[in-house]
Amino acid sequence: MASRLPSLAISVFAFAMASGAAAAEISAARESELKTLLLHDCGACHGMTLRGGLGPPLEPARIAWQSEEVLAAVILDGVPGTPMPPWRFEIAPEEAVWLARLLKQGLPDES
């Protein structure tokens, strides 16, 4: 009987992870990590202030016509055949939606 417990614990954990992802709650600490990643890692191609470089500008006006879902999919899967890489291994789906929303709103320190 006791030998069944670890696998039960793992499936409860897996369920908690899955439902956590569905809730789309991102901690304040993770939000600030994501903002740093946006300016540093994404900024490496899209420009330090996200106004374009190797990658196109990610300013609100430029991406307004695209839905959050489409932008999040680009962030997660990249654009094949271009330098835009997939970020699925570093950014969770709900985090990509959060980033897409942030980009559409514009960063607070952006003029």
The residues of the shown chain that bind ligand HEC, judged by CB under 6 A, are 38, 41-42, 44-46, 54-56, 58, 62-63, 66, 71, 74-75, 79, 82-85, 87, 99
Nearer Cβ to ligand HEC (84/97): 84
Q: What angle do CA 27, 94, 38 make, to 5 degrees?
A: 75
Instruction: For residue 2, give both structure tokens.
Output: 């006791």
Q: How far is residue 105's CA from residue 35's CA, in Å, rounded to a whole number?
A: 13
Q: How far is the CB of 104 from ligand HEC (least distance, A)?
A: 10
Q: Which is nearer to ligand HEC, 8 or 77 (CB)?
A: 77
Question: Alpha-carbon distance 96 to 94, whole Å?
Answer: 5
Of the pair 26, 45, the CB lying nearest ligand HEC is at 45
